[in-house]
Structure 1
Amino acid sequence: MKEFQVIDDVMPDVPPTDHARVLAARARVLEGTRRRRPAVWPRVTLAAAAVTGVLAAGFVVVPRLGGEQAGTASPAATASGTATAVATISSPRDALEKAADRLAAQPPGTGAWWRREAIRTEQTRANSSFTVENRYTEVLWIDRHGNQRTVQGRVSSSLPTAADRRAWKRAGSPKLCGDHEDCRIGRVSFFPLALKPTMLPEEAGALKALLLKHRPTDGSTDDEGWLWNAARWILLDTAATPRTRAAAYRMLADLPGTDVVGRASDTEGRAGIALEHGTVGIRQQMVIDPGSGDLLALQTVMAKGGAVLDAYAVRRLGWTDERPPRITD
């Protein structure tokens, strides 16, 4: 099947990896240390992601889209007034509370499928000499029974800086991932609990208690790291209700290691308030539209300089009567 790949319950017994460790290793590579990460070349499959994480259970199909789709993202539509909203708030925390209130007031939505469309951007070090930025559209579909289908668009690759372009030429101008129509990029998915989204609490304290109840006891992660990764999963990869999503914001904002930032931008140039957490070198960042409470992006940034290592910029998210594309050989 040239056009798509099917993955079903890839290594379900593998414990989830601490996301911060994976990204710390990537940061060391990007900062020029001797540690190497293989470049992303053709036929890198999603099965490889099982080495560093666990794919969510369900039917996952990854066909190739024809290219980037314009989409009608509710986050993009509401983000137009973000600059004004940010400028008029009394404090970042106040803006976050109001955004969470607006999100919680949204109706749960109707339709047969929950659809999340995002632009994935990832930087990787190739040949230990230049950085490549890969970009593609990813659409996740979840039906009312919890079955999932993921549609991945064609990858486009670029060299972010003039120095990268010079290093690429010195290396013989090797083909990049985006030069191959059948290129696939694996992703790390975090699947912490075997709970349906409707079972997730809609109050911050109760949500935190439930998530901590399921935290691994093997020392692989601390409470805050676990809660952040679980919240990322809830917000990006589940059909959680607006009230549960708002509770996730409030839960993270109350953690000692979380900062509420008054202004941050995503890879699509949209501005919003942000929740940040992480080490001195690497920060996990959640960009939120203060006007609606919608999630704009989940991204990992370098604390110094703000370079984005990995990002999901959300275009559309919610229940719909649209149906995913049919899968054919």
Structure 2
Amino acid sequence: MNPIDQLRAARPAHLDDTPVDPRTRAAELSRAMARPRPAPARRRIVRPVWGLGLAGAAAAVTAVAVVISATGGTAPRAPSVQVISSPATTTPRIELAGRSILLAAAHGAARQPDVTGAYWHTVSVSRNLFEAADGDYTLVDRQRNEVWTPSATGGEQWSRTRSLGVEPASPDDRAAWERAGSPTEIQVRSPKGGDNPKSEGFALSTEPGAAQDGHAPLVDGDKVFWLGRNVSMKDLRGLPEDPEGLKAWLLRSYEGHDTESDTPMSSDAWLFAVTVGLITDMPVTPQVRGAAFRMLADLETIEVVRDVVDAEGRTGSAVAIEERARAKADAKGGEGILRNRLIFDEATGRALARDSVVVRPGGLQAGFAPGTVWNSETVLAAGWTDERPAS
């Protein structure tokens, strides 16, 4: 399936009869991928298909990385302007400090108050990279997304999306944009590494846009999220509160491949992807969120990074795992490697952001340099409310 088809498949049903430009489709993916779908087919979660990024990301991720696995040894890596390390060249090591970071987050998460309300409300900002059609520079298109998910069955899910405008992705890109006359309406090509990079593009504006509201009934009347399978609010609130039980519950949906295709994927990588969605998006109990962090601490070949700054300027810790990026049949440079990260507040276990960093360019990421944050979604708010948006 090509990117446009994937975007179309992920589009909320209540908007199917409304013409939408490609930038809006790209923004919808960051939230639509965590929502249930009417069809039982497998679905992609969390990450937009098109490249996403953070302006000035390289300067924001100076950190000391700590690796966890089952082979022994301790040695934190030296600070660097990139969170990533050389792919597939070092043997993972156990680092007790890394495990202690996740256990601290688990403890903090479990101590948070457990309150509920009429709607689970999330606010996030997604960032998408686009390449200018008439200049050698890259742009970051930012979208603010809000979702209200009802706690009661038979309700409707509400959403609100607003473009925050486009801006150059880095100081060098800004200089190139200024040399092009600092246009406020910019024609862009299909994203780097896309199936048809020479296809006709579309215009992006540097000015913020108007909010777009929508609402739709819950799938099957009660399904609110995708957690390996479509789940109801009752399912989420009743998840096991111990890491072993939670792992067993999730693995009932694991079939040996990734969440979007028949590409083989290890159970650890699959659990990581699904658990990041649980921690970031879903109204589970504090004890379940704590169990999720403890489960991540037991996965092999994860990496824990301290002092990571997200796109909103907030500093947290991150847990990450590498994933091989699927290459197109005609892709140059072979298979790529991504590092998928969850950035969180260690004291409370609250999710700050999730993103994917290019470790080795290839496939859809062939046009990006190592260290590029290929996709990003920052969480501004997540909690219960009794108020829904005005209709």
TM-score, length-scaled by structure 2: 0.56
SS at match of 1:111: coil
Q: 1:10 to 1:41 in 2, by over 3 A?
A: closer
Of Structure 1 and Structure 2, which has the larger fraction of its residues in helix?
1
Query: Does residue 1:248 correspond to 2:325, yes or no?
Result: no
- Tell me the alpha carbon deviations over residues 219-253 of structure 1, each in whole angstroms, 9 at most, x when there is no partner: 43421232122112212332112221222222222
Quote the Cα distance in structure 1 between the aligned partners of 2:124 and 2:275. 17
Is 1:101 the counterpart of 2:128? The answer is: no
Match of 1:283 in 2: 339
Alignment partner, residue 164 of structure 1 = 173
Q: C-alpha displacement at 1:214, in angstroms?
A: 0.4
**Alpha-carbon shift at residue 326 of structure 1 (Å):** 2.1
Give the aligned partner of residue 56 of structure 1.
Answer: 36
Aligned to 1:155, the other structure's residue is in SS state strand
- Measured after TM superposition, the shift of residue 286 of structure 1 is 1.0
Q: Residues 241 and 126 of structure 1: is their aligned pair in 2 closer, same or farther, counting only changes over 3 Å?
A: farther
Higher Cα radius of gyration = 2
Distance (whole Å) between structure 1 residues aligned to residue 338 and residue 377 of structure 2: 16
Specify the alignment match of 1:124 in structure 2: 130
- 2:127 is aligned with 1:133: no
Deviation at 1:183, TM superposition (A): 9.4
| Alignment correspondent of 1:115 | 121
Q: Which residue of 1 aligns with 2:229?
A: 193
**Which AA in structure 1 matches 2:13?**
D
Alpha-carbon offset, residue 103 of structure 1:
0.8
Q: CA deviation at 1:267?
A: 1.0
Q: Secondary structure at the match of 1:230?
A: helix
Partner of 1:83: none
After superposition, the CA RMSD in angstroms is: 3.6
Aligned to 1:62: none
Partner of 2:209: 181
Contact 2:227 2:250 in 1 (8 A): no
**1:256 deviation in Å?**
1.0
SS in 2 for 1:200: coil
Letter in 2 for 1:246: G
Cα gap change, 1:207 to 1:177, in 2 (>3 Å): farther
Number of matched residues? 257
- Please tell me the residue identity of whatever aligns with 2:127: T
The answer to whether the 8 Å contact 1:121/1:135 transfers is: yes
Deviations 1:196-236 (A, max 9, x none): 31232222111111211102356434212321221122123
- Are the counterparts in 2 of residues 155 and 183 from structure 1 also a CA contact under 8 Å? no
Q: Is this contact kept in 2: 1:116–1:318, CA < 8 A?
A: yes
Matches of 2:22 and 2:208, distance apart in 1: 6
Change (3 A) 1:287 1:44: closer
Kindly provide the CA deviation profile for residues 35-86 of structure 1, in whole angstroms up to 9, marking residues without a partner as x: xxxxx95664379859x9574249xxxxxxxxxxxxxxxxxxxxxxxxxxxx
Does structure 2 retain, via aligned residues, the 8 Å contact 1:123–1:133? yes
SS in 2 for 1:45: helix
How far 1:288 moved relative to its partner? 1.5
**Alpha-carbon distance in structure 1 between the residues aligned to 2:206 and 2:152:** 35
Residue 257 of structure 1 deviates from its aligned partner by 2.3
Q: Distance in 1 between matches of 2:296 and 2:338?
A: 17
Match of 2:384 among 309, 312, 319: 319
State how far apart, in whole Å, the 1-side matches of 2:254 and 2:240 are.
16
Once the two structures are overlaid, the 10-residue window that deviates more, 171-180 or 193-202, is 171-180
Q: Distance in 2 between matches of 1:133 and 1:291?
A: 31
The one-letter code of the counterpart of 1:198 is R
Q: Does 1:149 align with 2:205?
A: no
The equivalent position to 1:265 in structure 2, one of 309, 313, 331, is: 309
Confirm or deny: 8 A CA contact 1:253 1:275 kept in the other structure. no
Give the SS at the match of 2:237: helix
- Are 1:296 and 2:355 an aligned pair? no
Q: Secondary structure at the match of 1:91?
A: helix
Question: How far did 1:192 drift?
Answer: 2.4
The code of the aligned residue for 2:342 comes to M
Structure 1 pair 43–287 and aligned structure 2 pair: CA distance change class (3 A): closer
Q: Which runs of 4+ in 1 moved over 6 A?
A: none
Looking at structure 1, the residues matched to 122 and 110 of structure 2 have their Cα atoms a distance apart, in angstroms, of 18
How far did residue 307 of structure 1 move?
Answer: 3.3
> Per the alignment, in what secondary structure is the counterpart of residue 248 of structure 2?
helix
Q: Please, which runs of 5 or more residues in structure 2 have no aligned partner?
A: 1-10, 39-95, 187-202, 213-224, 324-335, 360-368
Is the Cα contact below 8 Å between 1:274 and 1:287 reproduced in 2? yes
**Structure 2 counterpart of 1:164, one-letter code:** D
One-letter amino acid matched to 1:95? I
C-alpha separation in 2, matches of 1:97 and 1:177: 44
- With normalisation by structure 1, the TM-score equals 0.66
Percent pairwise identity? 27
Question: Aligned residue for 1:91?
Answer: 97
